[in-house]
Amino acid sequence: MHQNNLIYKGYRLTAKVSRGAPGDNAPASGSPVFTASVVIVPAGAVQDTGDEYAVPGFAEGQVVYSPREAVHVAISHGCAIVDALTGVAG
């Protein structure tokens, strides 16, 4: 199991991975494809469900070939969002 959560600069980032539908930019071999979004919530907010953000590449139709890659892309995007929100570069 791959970790899909990260505490970053006081925010909890959670990747929500989805398996792509057959034909969603899938290779001819029929390999499964994955996308993800990221949910951002202050780390101390127990009851808050946070805000979900689309990952630009996935929103444009790109896919990856493993859940691990999807998590990595989503969490990396989440870190960039937190950096922008806090005004502090990584």
pLDDT in tens, the chain (90 residues): 457 899 999 999 999 999 976 555 555 567 889 999 999 999 988 888 899 999 999 999 999 999 999 999 999 999 999 999 988 765
- pTM, rounded to two decimals: 0.84
Contact status, residue 34 vs residue 19, Cβ threshold 8 Å: yes
